[in-house]
Amino acid sequence: MPSEFDLIRRHFTRPARHADLSVGDDAALLRIAPDMQLVVTTDTLAAGTHFFYDVLPHDLGWKTLAVNLSDLAAMGATPRWATLALTLPAVDESWVAAFAKGFFDCAGRYGVELVGGDTTRGPLSMTVTLFGEVPEGQAITRAGGLPGDDLWISGCPGLAALGLMSLQNRIRLTDDSRALAALHRPIPRVEAGEALRGIANAMLDVSDGLAGDIAHLCECSKLGARLDLEALPLAPLIAAGVDKPLARQVLLAGGDDYELLFSALPEARDILDVLGRKFNLSFTRIGQLTEEAGAILLVEGPETSPRPLDVRGYDHFASPD
Ligand code: ADP
Ligand code: MG
């Protein structure tokens, strides 16, 4: 059985070009440019809570980093360095090798360097702390929304929830490929998040379902919102093989999707079209922010009057955190 030291040396030591000191000492030494702010986030994935024990280790390695990248993307930040705290029940070296490969595939794709971590024995879980940079004063918080802002969503939230329901045999999809990919290998919207600096007024990543996350944005911005039910991007969900009510349900209340929810001035519509094409990512305009703090209304069509969005009514698919 390899020692912890061998395991780290073999699987988690890669040259870090943008750190003064990396894996192998008691701590890493990092340097950020004087006009930049350091942006820091942490997320844990625990077996049995956030993933099944039989998940492919390569996918898990990818996702462990990707969920943290999504949080940095939602700040408009550029990811730089990560630390990884890994708790393993036993050392299965081929499992660790595949996990590390998935982690470094994701790290390489988004320019992240692993600069340290911890390896211990215990129930399977992994915690990443991710460090990024943003030009001073330009981070996009949840609090910057303005009344009259359009509300936008990237991609297609709800696919990961469909993937999970399909794995649990709760539904049968005609095509589960996109849903399972969304669940196992989420694509963090890093480049889009950076490009939204100076465009998005408020932003967060949707990880607990759109309804709850709109409420978070409104609460932090001290505003209300009108959500246009007919504008929701349901097509990819319906293409996977579910009906419209279930598609709406998973979009509003699914979890584990890591898309960007943001608000922007109506003047930004043209530039958002251009950015969507540039990143091959759909940005869908799903409503507006309004003056009335806390009032989140669902607009079903010109004939019916808006009604309050029952956020908790859409809560029972919520993923654990
Ligand atoms: P210490 O006992 O001084 O905390 P460790 O034995 O925990 O040292 O770690 C030795 C070195 O290996 C440190 O630089 C640490 O950051 C790094 N390290 C430990 N586990 C991991 C891991 N899973 N991924 C990356 N680096 C790790
Ligand atoms: Mg130490």
Residue 316 has pLDDT above 60, yes or no: no
Residue 267 beta carbon below 6 angstroms from any ligand 1 atom = no
pLDDT in tens, 204-217: 999 888 999 999 99
Residue 117 beta carbon below 6 angstroms from any ligand 1 atom = yes
| Band of residue 321 on the pLDDT scale cut at 50, 70, 90 | very low
**By the 8 A CB rule, do 234 and 242 touch?**
no
Ligand 1 pocket test, pick from 3, 6, 8 with the greatest ligand atom count within 8 Å of Cβ, gives 8
pLDDT for 314: 56
State the amino acid at position 264 in one-letter form: A
Instruction: Single out the residue of 208, 183, 193, 194 nearest to residue 154, CA to CA.
Output: 193
pLDDT in tens, 214-231: 999 999 999 999 999 999
| Band of residue 255 on the pLDDT scale cut at 50, 70, 90 | confident
CA angle 162, 166, 168 (to 5 degrees): 120
More confident residue, 153 or 313: 153
Residue 61 beta carbon below 6 angstroms from any ligand 1 atom = no
**By the 8 A CB rule, do 38 and 137 touch?**
no
Share the mean pLDDT of the chain.
Answer: 93
Q: Which atom of ligand 1 is nearest to the CA of 24?
A: 14
Residue 84 beta carbon below 6 angstroms from any ligand 1 atom = yes
Residue 68 tokens, joined:
């943290």
What's the pTM? 0.94
Instruction: Single out the residue of 253, 132, 258, 270 nearest to residue 199, CA to CA.
Output: 270
Mean pLDDT, residues 27-52: 94
Instruction: Single out the residue of 79, 135, 140, 137 nearest to residue 107, CA to CA.
Output: 79
Instruction: Single out the residue of 204, 200, 177 nearest to residue 259, CA to CA.
Output: 204
Instruction: Single out the residue of 250, 252, 225, 233 nearest to residue 306, CA to CA.
Output: 225
Residue 103 beta carbon below 6 angstroms from any ligand 1 atom = no
Compute, in angstroms, the gap from residue 125 CA to the centroid of ligand 2: 20
User: Which has the minimum average pLDDT: 3-7, 112-116, 270-274?
Assistant: 3-7
**By the 8 A CB rule, do 275 and 152 touch?**
no
Residue 24 beta carbon below 6 angstroms from any ligand 1 atom = yes
CA–CA dist 281, 195 (Å, integer)? 12
State what percent of residues in the chain have pLDDT above 90. Answer: 84
CA–CA dist 192, 171 (Å, integer)? 32
CA distance to 75, 134, 201, per residue, from 137 (Å): 11, 8, 12
